[in-house]
Amino acid sequence: MTQPSKTAVVLVNLGTPDKAEKGAVRRYLKEFLSDDRVVEGKGLRRLLWLSVLNGIILNVRPGKVAKAYASIWEEDSPMRIILDKQVSELQLVLQSHHGEHSPDVFAAMTYGKPGLTPLLHKLSDTGYEKVLLIPMYPQYSATTTAPVYDQVAKFQLQQRRVLDVRIVNSYYDHPKYVEALANQVANFRAENESVDKLILSYHGIPKEYADKGDPYPLQCHKTSELLAEKLGLADTEWMTTFQSRFGPAEWLQPYTDKTLEKLPEQGVKKLQIACPAFSADCLETLEEIAEENREVFMDAGGESYDYIPALNANDGFIELLASLVREQAGDWVGVR
């Protein structure tokens, strides 16, 4: 009798350094910023970028960024700690939903450890035949989600017997994602004093990528609209902004930091800020938003500034992930 085929669910996040130290940050940034999905360009433009990256950025940036990581570091990088928690919580829920058909859940990162490509090798070598990948990006972008597809494609090219792979493309408008966000924001608002505005800050991308067809900003705006609707907010009570600008080119606007600088003079003195594109708290939320941008807002005359944590491993988010498994791989877990 043949063994039933084994099924894996892999939660994939971006990646993060191994340590909050210059050398580790340099290795991480080199791998991440050398991906031509992240910084696009062919021919001369590519050569120019690689010389700027290797000649300037990788000498100057790691020291500064390592200090920022040190300010949020726990026993490991928050992103990795949270990804492990998301994996173990999802495993428990899937076990209770699907019993003997429950898939095994794994963590992977596009850049750094635990790497996605080594995991695909391990899964294949240990008898897994079906793999559902869930990128931890609710909104699709060619800069984040597509590299997951790329690594899978490169892996498959080397296989005689390819893995049966499915990849969740996006879930920016999934009712359970919007509900999880709405509950997170509503619970926070119930426990804190009322504010003038809720800022929904998303990681940016270069405007050029969006102009060429990356649907990311459209999906971000849709998430915001659905969330505001679910929370019953009037148009004046919320806005969408884009953070984490990198380099001299124009990125998606309005910029989070520039907006925060202007809001107090427009009478917005108290605000809350949430970051729906980040499923897990990380450098970009815990340091850039909760620390750096707080200072920007308060220095400009703001009176109160609260960061609303990411969904992380909360029940609503794990429930969404379990729904994605059921919806996109139900036939693998005995549902249909």
Structure tokens at 207: 């405007």
Contact segment (CB under 6 A) with ligand L6N33NVT among 150-158, 179-187, 266-274, 280-288 equals 280-288
With respect to Fe ion, which residue has the nearer C-beta, 63 or 334? 63
Residue 203 annotated as binding? yes
252 DSSP assignment: S
User: Among all chains, which residue has been given the structure tokens 């009176």?
Assistant: 303
- Burial readout 30-44 (b: 16 or more C-beta within 10 A, e: otherwise): eebbebebbbbeeee
Query: How many residues sit close enough to ligand L6N33NVT to count as binding (CB under 6 A)?
Result: 24
Q: Which residues contact 299 (CB under 8 A, 6 or more apart)?
A: none
Contact letters for ligand L6N33NVT, residues 160-189 (x by CB under 6 A):
------------------------------
Strands laid side by side in the 6-13 sheet = 104-109, 6-13, 128-135, 164-167
CA angle, 65 as apex, 63 and 66 as ends, to 5°?
A: 65
Choose the contact partner of 65 out of Fe ion, ligand L6N33NVT, none; CB within 5 to 8 A by kind: ligand L6N33NVT
Sign of the torsion formed by the C-alpha atoms of 145, 148, 152 and 157: positive
Q: How far apart are CA 310 and CA 301, in angstroms?
A: 26
Residues 115-154 that bind ligand L6N33NVT (CB under 6 A): 137, 141, 143-144
Per-residue binding letters, 240-279, with Fe ion (x by CB under 5 A): ----x-----------------------------------
Residue 144: name its binding partner from Fe ion, ligand L6N33NVT, none (Cβ under 5 to 8 Å by kind).
Answer: ligand L6N33NVT
Whole-angstrom Cα Rg for the chain: 20
- Among the listed residues 9, 10, 11, 14, the single contact to ligand L6N33NVT using CB under 6 A: 14
220 binds, among ligand L6N33NVT, Fe ion, none (CB under 5 to 8 A by kind): none
In degrees, rounded to 5, the angle at the alpha carbon of residue 208 between the alpha carbons of residues 135 and 200 is 55
Binding positions for Fe(2+): 203, 284
Which residues form the interface with Fe ion (CB under 5 A)? 244, 284, 288
Which residues form the interface with ligand L6N33NVT (CB under 6 A)? 14, 16, 29, 33, 38-39, 61, 65, 77, 79, 137, 141, 143-144, 203, 205, 216, 244, 246, 277-278, 282-284
